[in-house]
Amino acid sequence: MSAMDGERDTSSDGPTFEDLGLRPELLAALTALGYEEPTPIQTEAIPPLTEGRDLLGQAATGTGKTAAFSLPVLQRLPAERGPAPDALVLVPTRELAVQVSEALHKYGRDLGARVLPVYGGAPIGRQLRSLESGVDVVVATPGRALDLVQRGSLQLGQVGTVVLDEADEMLDMGFAEDLDAILDETPETRQTVLFSATMPRRLDALARRHLRDPVRITIAREQAAAGQSPRVTQTAYVVPRAAKSAALGRILDVESPTAAIVFCRTREEVDSLTETLNGRGYRAEALHGGMSQEQRDRVMGRLRGGTADLLVATDVAARGLDIDQLTHVVNYDVPSAPEAYVHRIGRVGRAGREGVAITLAEPREHRMLKTIEKVAGASIAVQKVPTVADLRARRLELTRAALRESLLTDELDRFRVVVETLSDEFDLMEVALAAVKLAHEAGGGSDDDEEIPQVSFRPDQGTSRGATKSGRRREGDDRPPARGARPGGPVARLFVGMGRDAGVRPGDLVGAITGETGLTGRDVGAIEIHQRFALVEVPESAADEVVQALRATMIKGRKATVRRDRS
Q: Tell me the mean pLDDT in the region 133-148.
A: 93
How much is the pLDDT for 348? 79
pLDDT in tens, 314-336: 876 666 666 777 889 999 988 86
Q: Is the pLDDT of residue 229 over 50?
A: no
Give CB contacts under 8 A, 24+ apart, made by 30-37. Answer: 30/107, 33/3, 33/106, 33/107, 34/3, 35/2, 35/3, 35/4, 35/67, 36/2, 36/3, 36/10, 37/2, 37/8, 37/10
Residue 3 has pLDDT above 60, yes or no: no
Widest CA span in the chain: 92
pLDDT, tens only, 38-56 = 888 899 999 999 999 999 9
CA dist., res. 247 & res. 277, Å (int): 11
3 with 35: CB under 8 angstroms?
Answer: yes
Distance CA 65, CA 60 (A): 8
132-146, 188-202, 211-225, 295-309 — most confident range:
132-146
Reported as a pLDDT band with limits 50, 70 and 90, residue 383 is confident
Beta bridge partners of 161: 87, 191
Phi, psi (deg, nearest 5) at residue 147: -60, -45
pLDDT at 444: 59
How confident is the model at residue 480, as a pLDDT?
Answer: 34
Residue type for position 260: A
- Determine the number of helices (DSSP H) and then strands (DSSP E) in the chain: 20, 18
Distance between CA atoms of residues 283 and 151, nearest Å: 44
The Cα–Cα gap between 2 and 566 comes to 59
Sheet-wide strand order for 215-219: 115-118, 137-140, 87-90, 161-164, 191-196, 55-59, 215-219
* Residue 510 buriedness (CB in 10 A; 0-12 / 13-18 / 19+): buried
The region, left, alpha or beta by phi > 0 then psi within -120 to 50, assigned to residue 350 is: beta
User: Sheet of 562-564: strands edge to edge?
Assistant: 527-529, 534-539, 491-496, 562-564
- For residues 103 and 120, give the distance between their C-alpha atoms in angstroms, rounded to a whole number: 20
d(CA 204, CA 492): 33
Least confident of 56-70, 156-170, 481-495: 481-495
Taking the C-alpha atoms of residue 358 and residue 237, their distance in angstroms, rounded to an integer, is 8
Q: DSSP strand E in 197-326: where?
A: 215-219, 232-238, 260-264, 284-287, 310-314
Contact assessment for residue 497 and residue 561, using Cβ atoms and an 8 Å cutoff:
yes
Cα separation of 93 and 99, whole Å? 10
Q: What pLDDT does residue 227 have? A: 39
Q: Which amino acid is at 494?
A: L
Helical (H) or strand (E) element with 478: none
* Closest alpha carbon to 341 in 60, 58, 5: 60
Percent of the chain with pLDDT over 90: 26
| Identity at 30, one-letter amino acid code | L
What is the pLDDT at residue 140? 95
Phi, psi of 369 (to 5 degrees): -65, -40
Residues 6+ apart with CB under 8 A from 442: none
d(CA 196, CA 201): 12
Report the alpha-carbon distance of residue 434 to residue 93 in Å, rounded: 54
Q: Measured at the alpha carbon of residue 131, what is the angle toward residues 127 and 134, in degrees to the nearest 5?
A: 140
Q: From 504, 514, 496, select the one nearest 565 (Cα to Cα).
A: 496
- The domains found in the chain, sorted by start residue, are 18-219 (3.40.50.300), 232-388 (3.40.50.300), 394-433 (no CATH), 491-564 (3.30.70.330)
Q: What are phi and psi of 89, to 5 degrees?
A: -115, 120
H runs (alpha helix) in 218-257: 244-255
* Confidence bin at 172 (pLDDT 50/70/90): confident
Tell me the pLDDT of the chain averaged across its residues.
81
SS3 assignment for 292-314: CHHHHHHHHHHHHHCCCCEEEEE
Range ranked top by mean pLDDT from 65-74, 266-275, 379-388: 65-74
The helix (run of H) or strand (run of E) holding residue 432 is: helix 428-442
Q: How far is residue 130 from each of residues 149, 294, 374, 375, 409, measured CA to CA in Å?
A: 14, 21, 46, 43, 55
What local confidence, expressed as pLDDT, does residue 360 receive?
93
